[in-house]
Amino acid sequence: MVLLHSFTGSSRDMRLLANDLNAAGYAVQAPIFSGHADKTPLGPLSFGPDRWLAETQAAVRAMRREYGRVVTFGLSMGGNFALRALETMAGVVAGGAFATPLVDGSPHFARTVHRYMDYIVRESDQQADFGAAQGAIEHQRAALRHLAHLTIAAAPSVHVPVLLAQGGQDTVITPQTALRSLALFRGAPASLAWYPEANHILTADPHSQAQLSRDVLAFLARL
């Protein structure tokens, strides 16, 4: 299993799910994307999707060398990389995405970045120039949308099992976008797990975390 975290998140996003998968006998790798571990205000803006896709591919190749077959899942932005690996890499036999802004993007992307920067500034002695960061935020948004468009274009050609998950109370993306994403995978055995009371971080939200783990394990048992 390769588990991929969200934008401005870390592998902690996936810790509870990883623990449940480990307990069920699955090997898990949860890499941290470049720029997300250094705790600087502009960290996630200092790299981009090309770098993170390469890191995803490296994790998949490492797991494939060890185990032969790989399943990729990701939260929010990480779901885009998980699906892209599923579409393009040999040995990925299934996968999916949790609360991933695939079709409609994230209408609050800039707000997410600003909140991250605020948090880092509060927790450290560092300073951040929010005005100067605006150009980098827009560039990052465009780069992530480009990757999403590649994923969307390839989705109809996917024939391996896909699991999408979405919270009904998501305040980061529009919850109904998950239905549009599901429709893209018309050539695959694709399903949607819906958590009506959950917000965005499905892997930690008390309204979804335990059930999500059960749903993922049930999905894996069918492979």
Four-point Cα dihedral 175, 180, 185, 191, nearest 10? 40
Q: Residue 76 catalytic? A: yes
Residue given tokens 């605006």 in the structure block: 134
91: left (phi over 0), alpha (psi -120 to 50) or beta: left
Q: Residue 46 catalytic? A: no
Helices (H), the chain: 15-23, 49-67, 77-88, 109-123, 130-154, 177-184, 209-221
Among 106, 200, 208, 213, the active-site one is 200
Q: Residue 38 catalytic? A: no
Find out whether 81 is annotated in a ligand binding site.
no
Find out whether 117 is annotated in a ligand binding site.
no
Query: Nearest CA to 214 among 142, 177, 165?
Result: 165
Among 76, 106, 181, 208, the active-site one is 76
Among 6, 13, 36, 170, the active-site one is 170
Q: Count of H helices and E strands in the chain?
A: 7, 5
Burial class for 62, CB neighbours closer than 10 Å (0-12, 13-18, 19+): middle
Q: Which residues are known binding-site members for substrate?
A: 7, 77
Residues labelled catalytic:
76, 170, 200
Q: Which residues are known binding-site members?
A: 7, 77
